[in-house]
Structure 1
Amino acid sequence: MDFRLTEDQRALRRGVRELLARRFDRAALREAVDTPALDRGLWRELGNAGFFALRLPEDEGGVGLGLPEAVLLFEEAGRALLPGPLVATHLAAGTVPGAADGTVVVTAASEGLVPWLDEADVVSGDVTGAVPLRSVDPLTPLHRLPARTGAYPAVAGEAVLLHAAEQVGSAGRTTEAAVAYAREREQFGQVIGGFQAVKHLCAGMLVRAELARAAVRAAAVTADPVEIAGAKLLADEAAVGNARDCLQVHGGMGFTWEADVHLHLKRAWVRARLGMTAERAEEAVAASL
């Protein structure tokens, strides 16, 4: 089986990246940080571009593509730190009127957390008793559900995989940022990318990102629950680990509010608690061995 992207898949990924670069560039990202409210205009534009209706059949107004293509879209969303309950709205297309074209925002409870509850038009799942929670990520407002007897209901495998795809996109972006900075920042008369310690950090980031990307894309083809759990584990590790190493490469500058690196780390922390936690993923993989 050939796992290389087809020309159509590459064109799809390129189109989404260009859309986000035009509509959600760094200036828009920083504005969203300062004014954390969902951009309904952007949401509708995503809907018009087929982001939410990607997997709906064409005779239902969708694009007629599959989970492997959806993973590509969510990688790009994660790379751009696109805010909002993207996964829940995408999964609601075809069942919740207005979700497919981006005129309705849908959110869902996941592992006791509900992102963007106040902004959502429709909420999937029981969120009785949800209370506001101070989120570490300024771009992901959260509510917490009260503790309940037994575990929270399992989230659909597709949701877990799409959260993992976002993590992969973030891991790839922080790798690019670290390498770019290492090529320009100079110390002791040479660029820091020439130092062995920095080379090792960047190489480790690349390995984590590519391993997670391969796992996520393979799981998108097989849709196997255990492979999805393993992909989520690897993607969470790549997103969090790469953001931390990117901070290390940037040094003191990386820890400033003006740098974007901390936003990737904070989003990675939040995503790691959505869809499927590491504990649940480890149990799923261990049970299959």
Structure 2
Amino acid sequence: MKILIAIGSKDFSKPTLKLGMKVAQAFNAKTTIIDVGEKISEFSSQLVELAQDQLESWDFDAPGVDVLEWAFNYLSQNKLIDTKQTETGFPKNRLIDDGEGRKMVYLSGTACEDVNLILRNGDIIAELREEVQFGEYDVTILGKSRKRNMSHDLLQYINSSILIVNDYEDQKFDKILLPLDYKDGMLKVAKYAIRVALALNVGIDIFTVFDKDKSQKKGSNYFSKIIKFIRRSGVQYSHEEKQGEIVEQIIKKADKNKIIVMKASDMSPIKRFLKGSIPLSVMNECDVPILIVK
């Protein structure tokens, strides 16, 4: 598995990095930590290039390097990278421009397969989308945006599953909350829930919500197949059925000791923007981590 952890601030990104590395460690995943800094003007770019040629004498830091250095120090303090690479501090001289609009540092991980640090500059949505496409990541992990349109755009344009960290205070998770519906693609969602449950050694709370206007029998056969698949995985599980409004019921069921794993919306981008999707509504109204599987 390949995981991308998006950070953007030394002040607000610690929960994202902490949970992101915990998930990466659980999966022994190839992990990249990315900071998308502000777009550099053409004039500033020329100054940066000039300064980079004289880094040793000027001790000049390109925009965004301080955030990568903070991430490096976090990895070092928590023994998540090889100690041989931490003896001399953040290796600015190994921050390599790879010719793809990225500056990178390659590190040897101790808790997962390897760890890379990447700096991009520009629009956050565009740069994250390009990085996900370039690196073919399975999961992108990021913090909850305070801007509702930003959350909508992240879900719409990033072509990977997305784990929204929300409020994470280093709590120990005890369950995966898996809301089921009878639409295509739920088997993949169940597989992700099983992988997370096995990695974290927790059980799965399967949760189905039926609208008052829809027959419960419509999805019963489909649900039984998913539940049978989860049972065969060996993961402990429970199954509860409720009737009502699905977003409201999911929020009632969620708590800080659970990770929600649910399917991305099938609606078109226009309908999703006008009506709002169920995952987006849950994400906006709920303060627990949520993995949205695409």
Q: Which has the larger radius of gyration?
A: 2
- Normalised TM-score (structure 1): 0.24
- Normalised TM-score (structure 2): 0.24
